[in-house]
Chains A and B, each alone.
Chain A
């Protein structure tokens, strides 16, 4: 029996805005096992970031709210924790890397101070020990001149270097789970490859579980054990990474994969699927992918298919693989 690190179950996170309710995440279930790297893929706006911010409970400054579902970390519910207990977990047991390396570091403080902060807080090191640990982390993420970088400000570093600093910061307290929200998207291709290599190396050394959010299928192919494909706030397909590339089922996944994945193949720019993600306030009834699906049938417009595990650990949300007769009767 594999040990479960993170269990997101039927998570619903809605945004309450002027134009109505945006169901950014609408019943998402994702499990990350110990030592496993799970990829979460999908076009921009499908709810990947909101899912990860929900896990960290970092939605307090947005109009977003977790309205239903549960999030368990090592078996204990995160949604029931007090804010104080949650702070003991953030940056300690669960760490996060963001998409925007250029703006994710505070421009007015030196790198060293920003790195030491979490180390002092969670590991309770004194100033001297924290500094040594911070330098070690910078060395670990392959930053040259680690000692000097400690005394530099973010604007003195390139995007790739800043992302290394963010990774060092995230890994500093030896987290059990790392949530990486498109960690390479903002970087150019050669730097992307270096950062991925670094993440692979760190994972192999530390056995950290990773939830890797990306819209780059090449990254998924290279890094992940399992993949969750999201569309419009829902999971539409889930399987191990081999099966997904060998035998994709959902028409959306098929469209995403299209050709052989390679690094830098960006779902964002993929034009093999015509149309756009539906506007969240105006979701079609039935299958949310129907307006763009070449296989769409009558039932697809009427009734939302469920996420069904078809055969061993391969789940798919599509009427093509489900008993339509039965569904129509209900």
Chain B
């Protein structure tokens, strides 16, 4: 098990290396010229060239890539073109707000989604099922900027219970995490419903009933753990997506997170920040995949780690 984890962690290095090439090429394909942006609108062509040299952008692209990679190995991922501050600091200050927002959103979304899914599956075609699935379809189809604005209007502007935006206290988390999690809760609900409905047709469920177990034990004890196996994968993927920071939600709630950092840095063609941020997303995805695989093995004893 530990051996497996170590092996997987080592395996991340070549993957990240490959990913870094793509990211690098991709970032440099974005049209626009950072040297021009830094130098300012009324800079002369010469001024722009000087800036370009300072930033190292005059070098051939493979040299630039080599500098980028060797920087990483020396523990230096460069400085922001826009602010001049180290990229590491730029990202670190934005990571935690996004992480916690994602974390709390996922927590409530998974719990509520599972509850709705299980109730819908066991009360198939009854009003509880229709209500649950109506909620789920609404959650999926409602645009998050619209839900976000609605919540702000009601709970922040009119009732004044919660802040309009920004990050000051735990109260700041409430509205954005409701907004961010509602889509996830809906997906989890639908997924766990169909997964559990399939599982409840299985032979061992009949065995459980034939033993004299009550429906509660049959569903939560014997059904759910099996039904969770596909749900975990899906939830992990969602978590990975959200960790990148939701651009829409961070904008609506003026959230100081990675999503807004990404738009800002793309707007400014801040290559080092964009690259670092994308590399971080890749790393997050890979790590989450590993965690999902571990949970998978915990749920499904037929998986062997070797």
- Chain A residues with a Cβ under 8 A of chain B: 56, 58, 61, 84, 87-92, 95-96, 98, 100, 103-109, 117-118, 121-122, 153, 155, 166, 169
Contacts and interface: CB of A to CB of B under 8 A. Distances in A.
A56 B209 CA distance: 9
A108 B226 contact: yes
A107 B300 contact: yes
Contact of A117 (B200, B203, B213, B302): B213
Chain B binding site: helix, strand, loop or mixed by DSSP?
helix
A5 to B, nearest CB: 18
B234 interface: no
A117 B204 CA distance: 13
B299 to A, nearest CB: 6
A98 B212 contact: no
A113 to B, nearest CB: 10
Interface in B202-237: 202-214, 222, 225-226
Given A103-B204, A104-B203, 8 more contacts: A89-B212, A90-B211, A96-B210, A107-B204, A109-B225, A118-B211, A118-B212, A122-B212
Contact of B213 (A95, A107, A121): A121
A107 B301 contact: yes
Given A58-B206, A61-B200, A155-B301, A106 B222 contact: yes
A87 B214 contact: yes
B210 A90 contact: yes
Contacts of A109: 222, 225
B201 interface: yes
Task: Choose among B204, B213, B299, B302 the residue with the greatest number of A CB atoms under 10 Å from its CB.
Answer: B204
Interface of B: 200-214, 222, 225-226, 299-302
A155 B212 CA distance: 24
A70 to B, nearest CB: 21
21 contacts: A56-B210, A61-B201, A84-B214, A88-B212, A90-B211, A91-B212, A92-B212, A103-B202, A104-B207, A106-B207, A106-B208, A106-B226, A108-B299, A109-B222, A109-B225, A117-B208, A117-B211, A121-B212, A121-B213, A155-B301, A155-B302
Contacts of A98: 203, 206-207, 210
Contacts of B203: 98, 100, 103-104
A169 B209 contact: no
Contacts of B226: 106-108
Given A61-B200, A98-B203, A98-B206, A107 B212 contact: no
Contacts of A89: 212
A100 B204 CA distance: 10
B202 A169 contact: no
A198 B203 CA distance: 23
A96 B301 CA distance: 26
Contact of A91 (B201, B202, B210, B301): B210
B204 A104 contact: yes
B210 A58 contact: yes
Task: Choose among B200, B206, B207 the residue with the greatest number of A CB atoms under 10 Å from its CB.
Answer: B207
Contacts of A61: 200-201, 205
